[in-house]
Amino acid sequence: MADLKGYKGKSLDFLNENDIGIGDSVKIIADLAYTGILMPRYETSEDSHIVLKLKSGYNIGIELEEIEKIEKISSSEKTVVKENTKQTNPDLPKVLLLSTGGTIASTVDYRTGAVTPALTASDLNDAVPEIANIANVDAQVLFSEYSENLQPEHWIETAKKLKDLVDSDYKGIVIAHGTDTMHYSSAFLSFALSGFPIPVVLVGSQRSSDRPSSDAAVNLLAAIRFVVKIKTKGVFIVMHHNDTDDTVACHLGTRVRKNHTSKRSAFETIGNNPAFVINNDKIMNNLEKEFFTKKEFEPKLKIDTKVALVKYHPGYDPKQIENLIESGYKAIIFEGTGLGHVGKTMYNSIKKANESGLFLGMTSQCIDGRVRMTVYESGRDLMDLGIIPLNDIIPEVALVKTMWALGISENIDDVKKLMLENIASEFTE
């Protein structure tokens, strides 16, 4: 019996009757004629349609009652495992590509529908053959997780891996990463590996490699070109820049957010232009000066996750602040309104948090601009209650930096000093 993962009831019976399995190439006559690959189903609510991947790379669902005829063109074949071999050019620099589970430079298994990392040497060369003209790439899988599943312990594991490579002969390190939490990871690596001697780039893809509009290959090529050609150090995120197909942006790892759910150009530098813009072999430097101020490599890889990110809104229950105190939290980063405000209903709870020894920092929930708590009386009142204004640091970056600072010291004065120090360009001048 054919492999028919995800199918049941009428759709399962229909496919068995026609001897069609997942991965088979089929032609379907319905309202139109469709040719494509039968894909597995992930929906479980009903059994009245089948899923086809068209030659364009897009998947469509076709209702059984609309199908007049289905014809098998060819059967799926088992994937052949390739040898992990490659040709190297001794004149090219070495680059390490670490995968954490993103879909960048991935391949599609049409038997299962899975998009899997292409991280053997032969897979990489097949997926993006232009890489061989830029660098000799070694590829390793660090772990395989959707980025929403990545936790601070994964940041630590990644940082330890990089720390062990500090004396390697790699020109740079590229980390394939899912996009949803990429800017959290880049922020931690920026602080934990301050002064790392070679560039580290996190790169992802908004659209997987089976889609015609995929940005996977162009982003990966740009990331590798960047670490090979650039002479600065630091942690960056490389992602698509705008509506053109070939332009890629390189953002400082502490000044970037994902600002759109699905656009290729979802990532944007907050408050400025991207640090670099990459267009094929050309790299435009937008930095007015060398951004990386700490010259010595001083790895600090500890972390304390007892930090809360609180987005204030009208109706926010201040008892939640007291719950954080009782739960043993050591710091709260507020996303305040405007220049850095929260309602006066919060004041008593904030006072208790300050008296309990928590670090209290203020950021703004506005996308751009900086906190200025001295402008209005309410901001000055909050400062009197112990809240520290954190300039224009991005709230998520403030969260990660506080976790990192608490990992270094639990002394509140030490934490305050670290939080106000511009360590990895988390504050703009």
Q: Which CATH number belongs to the domain containing residue 134 in this structure?
A: 3.40.50.1170
CB-based burial, 151-165: b 16+ in 10 Å, e otherwise: ebebbbbbbeebeeb
Same domain, 109 and 157: yes
Residue 82 lies in a domain: no
Q: What is the pLDDT of residue 228?
A: 95
Q: Which residues pair with 16 in a beta bridge?
A: none
Q: Where are the alpha helices (DSSP H) in 168-254?
A: 182-192, 216-229
How does pLDDT run across 333-354, given as a tens digit for each residue?
Answer: 999 999 999 999 999 999 999 9
Among 2-11, 99-108, 349-358, 373-382, name the one with the lowest average pLDDT: 99-108
Q: Is the domain of 276 the same as that of 340?
A: no
Final residue belonging to a domain, choices 25, 41, 74: 74
Instruction: Exactly one of 24, 53, 100, 103 is catalytic; name it.
Output: 103
The amino acid that residue 159 corresponds to is A
Same domain, 278 and 313: no
Q: Is 88 inside a domain boundary? A: no
**Could you tell me the residue range of the domain that residue 411 belongs to?**
307-420
Reduce the DSSP state of residue 50 to 3 states and report it: strand
Closest CA to 38 of 79, 2, 65, 13: 2
**Residue 258 designated active-site:** yes
Q: In the annotation, is 109 catalytic?
A: no
| Arithmetic mean of pLDDT over the chain | 87
CA separation, residue 153 to residues 44, 256, 306, 403 (Å):
33, 22, 13, 12
State the total domains in the chain.
3
| Residue from 100, 158, 179, 363 carrying the catalytic annotation | 179
Report which of 225, 231, 233 is spatially closest to residue 252, judged by C-alpha positions.
Answer: 233
Question: Given 3, 180, 381, 414, which residue is catalytic?
Answer: 180
d(CA 283, CA 215): 18
Same-domain pairing of 190 and 110: yes
Strand partners, 201: 174, 236
| Rounded CA separation 163/197 (Å) | 10
Q: What is the mean predicted confidence (pLDDT) over 48-71? A: 86
Q: Return the closest-CA partner of residue 335 out of 301, 302, 312.
A: 312
Same domain (yes/no): 244, 150: yes
> Active-site residue 167, yes or no?
no
Exactly one of 171, 233, 258, 401 is catalytic; name it: 258
| The pLDDT of residue 210 is above 60 | no
Token pair recorded at residue 408: 């270094």
In a domain, 138, yes or no: yes
Indicate if 256 and 131 belong to the same structural domain.
yes
Q: Is residue 412 part of a domain?
A: yes
The answer to whether residue 85 is catalytic is no
pTM above 0.75, yes or no: yes
Beta bridge partners of 308: 332
Report pLDDT for 115. Answer: 55
